[in-house]
Every structure is written in C-alpha cells, then in structure tokens.
Amino acid sequence: MDVKALRRFILAILACLLGAGLLCYGIAVRQGPDAQLLKASTGLSWYRIAAVFDPEQAELSCTQTVEYRNNHDVNFDKLYFHLYPNAFRDEKRVPFFAEEKLKAYPNGFSPGWIDIHQLMVNGKPVKFNIGGYSSDILTIILDTPLSPSQKAIINMAYTVKLPNSLGRFGYGQHTFNVTNWYPIVCVYDHTGWNTDPYYPVGDPFYSDVANYQVEIKAPSSYTIAATGKAIEVKDEEGYKVWNFKALAVRDFAWVASRDFEVLSRSVDGIMVYSYFLPGNRDGGEKALECAAAAIEIFNSRFGRYPYSHLAVVQSDFFVGGMEYPCLVMIDKNLYNPEHQWLEYVTVHETAHQWWYAVVGNDQIDEAWLDEALTEYSTVLYYENRYGEDVGKQVYDQVIANGKCSYLQNYYFQGIRHTIDQPVYKFTDWLTYDLVVYGKGASLFNELRQAVGHQKFYDILQRYYEDNKFKNATAAQLMKACEEITGKSWNDFFRKRLKSLNW
Ligand SMILES: [Zn+2]
C-alpha cells in the first residue's frame, strides 16, 4: 500500500525534476511467462469459486471449493479461515482510523459483511464457529485430523455484501473493489496459525500461494480486471460469465466497472493492462507506460516476473495505491499525467509484485520486509530509468526528508519506533510511513553502500530466486546477504531494525 500524506507534500517539487528526463524505450518480447509457474503450482491448494455479482445490491452470491493440502509436518484438527468482509460490518470496528472515516465513507457509514450459509468438509457437514475481533475468523473443527500431505475438500456457500466505501473493499461512483472478499485459509507457520484481524494500518494480510479458478457472472455492461487470466468470457442472457485462472498466486482480487476503458502493451512477453475511467486516457497511458518500464527494469534487476499479465486499475479509492497479485489499484484522483504521484505510486505498487506477490512475507509482524524493500525499489526504478542524479534526488526528497520529520518527532515529541515493529503497534499512518517505508528504505540504502552496487543487486536476485512463491522472513534476506558477500550481516540488520533512532 502507499499512503503518504506527508510525502505527497514533499514530492510536490519532484515533478519538475523528472519532467525533462523521460526516456524512450522499446517493447521487447523475449520469452513467454515463466515455465516455473507451472512447476510452482504443483502441490498447492486450490480455490474454485463461482460468484454471481449483483451490482444493484452490491452483493456477491458465491460457492467455493477449497482443496486444502496440509503442506506442514503436523496434524491439523482445526482449519482457520479469514473472513475479512466482516471487518466492515460494525461501524465501531471498521479498519479505518477515526480521521479516515470521512474519506472512507463519504456518504456516511455503509456496512459490508460475509454470511456463510453452508459448510461441508469432504462432503459432510462439520462443526464450525465464527469468532475474532470482528467475527472475522472462521474455525472449522475437523472430524478426523488432517495429516501432512493429505487434502481436505471444504465446500462453502456464502453471500458477500460490499460497503459503499472507498477503501480497498467496497464501491464508489465507478468501481467495485472486490478485494479480501472470500474465505482464505490463514497461514500456519513457526508461530502456529496466524489469525490476525484486519488492522487499520499497513497491509494486514498474510497468505500462502495457491491456485485459483474463479468464475464471475456479472451484468454484460461490466468489465472486470482481475488477478487471474481471463480464460473464457461467455455471453448468457444479459450477463457475461468470466472464467479466470491464476496459478501460484497468494490472493485473488478483482475490480469491476461499467466505465472502464482499457489499454495494453507487451513487455518482456508480459501483458500490461491499464484500466481507466472516461476522460482519463492520458493518465491511463502514463500508468501503462510507467508499469511497463518498471517491469522491464525489475525483471532485469531482481529476476523475472513469472505471471502472464499485470492489471493497473484506476479505482474509486482514497488510499493512494494497493497491491494484489497481478493487479494494482491506483487512486482515480492521481490520473492526471502531470500528477507527481501517478508514476511514483504505480511503480511502487508494481514493485510489490516482486516483494509481496512473488516473495511473500508476514505483512503483520514483518511489515518492513516487503514495504521498505518496495519503497527502495521505487527509488531504484528512478535511478535505472532516469539516471543516478534523479535517483538520488528522489531518495533525498522522499527518504532524507522523512528522516528530518522522524528525528523531529523523536527529539521533540518522544515518538520512537523500531523498523521491525508489527503493524498493530502503530496508531497512525504518518508514523508508519516514516518508520516502515522511510527508515526501512534507508536500511537498504546503507546495505547497498556497504556491499557495493553489483553485490546489492546480486543479493536481491538471490533473495528473489530462493524465496519465490514462498513466505520469507528477515532471516532469508540475511542469508542471501551472507551467501553473496561471504560474511554475516546479522549484526548490521539487528542494529538497524532494533534502533529507536534513525
Ligand atoms: Zn507498499
């Protein structure tokens, strides 16, 4: 995500620095999507969802079959699912800070939820309960424990209500933002089951990669941008039935609109689509061009994007940008090509495809791991595309100015945070932004200065290659540093991650 009240102000100067430096680039079609994707999809869980979308009622009627494979070496007697839409049910518990509520609900509070109507495991009804902070955790009690490598087939029928809200989940004037919308299995890791609620700060999601087949029946007038590739679109009496497939992705999001216009281009054999609203063609072209340039740069610097497409979607959305696998949402108000944030936010969200979508991590307990690296990757884009001077200017404007603000808060207000704090320790976006994005990005800059330019990219390539389609931790990043440089960087990381100062 990319919420930057402060840096919106700081970067106001940036547009003029970049205006003259635009480079042309060719569209190179070198090879098809990574063959590793097919290999990576083997042995993963499957989600098969059929949804009927009723825009009049802002509702989805869904059936879902999860073929869940226990890829751990313990027996499970329970399975846990997130029910994120329930975070939007109770006005007092919605995942927004008080100061954001007016932006999130410009027409007043509007509830969203998910109601489970039916649930079976392996064809039989089972006991289940719904609990958690916002009734957002579904616990299924299994009749027989699920052993390692065994599968359970979980069938559900449910209704999802979308709120009239301009956050990630909901709808506005033009778009229905259907994200974190279906029951998704919680991650089991060395800490056990991760059943965190939908916190109001950060991107409080943590998931495993899985395979998806998602059928969406929507009125014919709607166009759908999605995580999956549209395998087939059938006409059916006033409706279109969209059939999407996505292998080895860690979530499935979609955005629907009657108003979308679409531009596309191919880069390195990857199709980039820009969905934009009427009157925003220039912004749509700019978003497409920046996402394509970012893919080309990150492909060569970090490792190849394995999926066949990326959708960049102009959305009714007040929080800047948000990443989902193969789909990024961008605030519709940024779609003026002169807007200094359109490029920055588009590139930031595109970088998340490497750090979040392909290499995942616990975005609650180690939020910095993808966010700080994504922020620094955005600086690397400017440097690679426009030259070292522009890269340095962006770094100074974004990160160094953030340091000044952090130190002012540190010395005068006693606000002190370490980079490695979990998201729920932060009580406002501005501090989260300064610490996790800014202070976090400065760690990567220091690392680069310490190891040298080439070795820094070697480290990122190693980290990417070794952890793609998995959830990494800081330990994996340190391991990549050690393997490339031949010495331990644990003290380097520990000192910076645990420092209250900048
Ligand atoms: Zn981000």
Q: What is the CATH number of the domain that holds 132?
A: 2.60.40
User: What is the model's pLDDT at position 422?
Assistant: 97
The CA 113 to ligand 1 mean position distance, Å, reads 26
Q: Please indicate, yes or no, if residue 229 is contained in any of the structural domains.
A: no
The answer to whether the beta carbons of residues 477 and 369 sit under 8 Å apart is yes
pLDDT at 6: 41
pLDDT score recorded for residue 411: 83
Residues 6+ apart with CB under 8 A from 367: 202, 203, 422, 423, 436
Cα of 318 to ligand 1 centre, how many Å? 15
pTM of the model: 0.93
What parts of the chain have a pLDDT lower than 70?
Answer: 2-34
How many angstroms is it from 348 CA to the middle of ligand 1? 6
- Domain co-membership, 31 together with 70: no
DSSP-derived letter for residue 98 is G
Give the H/E segment covering residue 354. Answer: none
Report the separation in Å between the CA atom of 367 and the middle of ligand 1, taken as the mean of its atom positions. 10
Q: Over the stretch 324-355, which tens digit does the pLDDT of each residue have?
A: 999 999 999 999 888 889 999 999 999 999 99
> How close is the Cα of 240 to the center of ligand 1, in Å?
33
From ligand 1's centre to the CA of 238, what distance in Å? 38
In a domain, 234, yes or no: no
Query: What pLDDT sits at residue 406?
Result: 86
The count of domains in the chain is: 3
> Are residues 493 and 454 part of one domain?
yes
> If you ran DSSP here, which 8-state letter would residue 471 be given?
E
Calpha distance 324→228 (Å, rounded): 11
Residues 34-80: tens digit of each pLDDT: 678 999 999 999 999 999 999 999 999 999 999 999 999 999 999 99
For position 275, what pLDDT does the model report? 98
254 in any annotated domain: no
**Statement to judge: residues 348 and 381 lie in one domain:** no
Last residue of a domain, one of 360, 392, 411: 360
Reduced to 3 states (helix: H, G, I; strand: E, B; else coil), residue 149 is coil
Render 341-366 in DSSP notation, one character per residue: HHHHHHHHHHHTTTBTTTBEE-TTTT
Does 198 lie in the same domain as 56?
Answer: yes
CB distance 167 to 95 below 8 Å: yes
The enclosing domain of 328 has a CATH number of: 1.10.390.10
Q: Is residue 145 part of a domain?
A: yes
448 and 351 in a common domain: no
Burial 4-31 (b: 16+ CB within 10 A, else e): bebbeebbeebeebbeeeeeeeeeeeee
Residue ranges making up the domain that contains 314? 23-35+261-360
The encoded tokens of residue 55 equal 């825009």
Residues with CB under 5 A from ligand 1 (ion): 1-2, 374
Euclidean distance between CA atoms 449 and 470, whole angstroms: 28
Amino acid code (one letter) for 350: T
Q: How far is the CA of 372 from the centre of ligand 1 (A)?
A: 8
What is the structure's pLDDT at 331? 97
b/e burial code for range 230-242 (CB count within 10 A of at least 16 → b)? eeeeeeeeebbeb
Q: How far is the CA of 446 from the centre of ligand 1 (A)?
A: 20
Specify whether 356 is located in the same domain as 371: no
The answer to whether position 18 is within a domain reads no
* DSSP state, residue 87: G
- Cα(374) to centroid of ligand 1, in Å? 6
